[in-house]
A and B are shown apart, each in its own frame.
Chain A
């Protein structure tokens, strides 16, 4: 028997007090801790996780990374994320299996075509690589797609971002955790935050299942459970928690070397390095924390996938699952301070937060360290729902992610 490999991070006892407490040990929480230490020298940090690290949506997403969003504010933060992804394996000294294999966003109708062309132009103006492909070019780029005129969902073209792709989500979490730990960040698992200590509208600490921990700053990074936590601090946020289902097939020989997304029919498909097809659906209509959705959503999604990829007709589904995603009214994240001093929120990434792990952590860490929104985060503050300056990415840059 070989000895047990070294642990990638410590399993520390929580201290009584930290400069910064991050609530939620998923991708965004870990990235925030990492960038707090790396960019700002803030190392007196604890990440509190009620389960195990990266066991929520970080373990359940379909790992798509892209930055081809329509609006300037979105393009800025997602493109910053993508640029960080491009150097992250080397920086973290860990093979993240980041593969820039190209993402197709299919157009099935004239309005899809117009939206796609508009988005390509917007992307180019923002320095984001983007191309418009006609059906023949789509077929050349992804030969197994059904682009025939008789298809149930005819492919009238597609946008292509060649720098977009996928990464191995577990490796991302482990690599960020290892580096954050090496900087001195305490990653504390199996510790649920049950309340907040607030004096004169200023947060002074958190109550947890392992006692009270004082904190100068408390930063939420709890995705689908953000509303539950915020309620404990007396806050109501414009978030809805929905199940989002995904699934994998059995392992196949290499057959699909790009990512294909179709917003109109809520399909997104890629083939992981291991060989399984990774597919995602749209959210279930009702709110839930149950981490399971209704089967008809998967059924409809598979039917659409088979229309696009007839070659998959005899592929067997291996398993399906759901994560709880926090959806905001304009399908854009909420990053910044709250009405409670010292309490920050980073949520609302909805169905597409994985791709932003890097940029979100970067901007959130800067916001926390300096006590004001980072330039990339500023447009995403809570006040936009009152001012009306929404960043409406609903129909624009893809509902599915």
Chain B
């Protein structure tokens, strides 16, 4: 009987993780339009620059050839063109770094390493999450990461990353017009605290008892699945033995408080 319960618990655990994984991919998919835009801009520059550099080199070559044939000094125009090439080279470097940064963030958040506990830099997870979320909301929402440096905790990084992503996207979606989303992390005793605050519309008192229930959503169809917070609660409370709660004031904003132990207990402890 005990074995059967243990087996069913294991199966349920596996299904929950698969659901969490699917939800994470859906969340990242919703950011795809912003990510595409974020990558398209540097790609546009690189495409253009490559062509301009080719044209520039042809022109420079012709100018230098002409100077050589007439025995005159290299013309100023050739130097001007080489200066343009040099500035485009700098832009290309920045553009490549930007694309690489987005890809790095995507790789970090999309990795399928949900099944193992690892020592993880929570601040790095926050940084990657904000970088991707910013691609969608940057025109109207300012994203602030208050804590820099390394903040390590033993956790399931894929799952914790998903919780942070859920909370940050929810926070941005709660803001009508312009506003700010702030993520603050800190270590207190043997716990890591992650607070996600927004200057949005707040949670209505009548919605508060239901927000952690699966299937409940206040978002328009297509924007929310209604399982983000239910999954987040499960990941934090059941999987990491932590806690999740919030303070909210209508018209002022909401802060979600997540707390997980810095060390995870071994199975059976």
Judge: A and B partners, yes or no: no
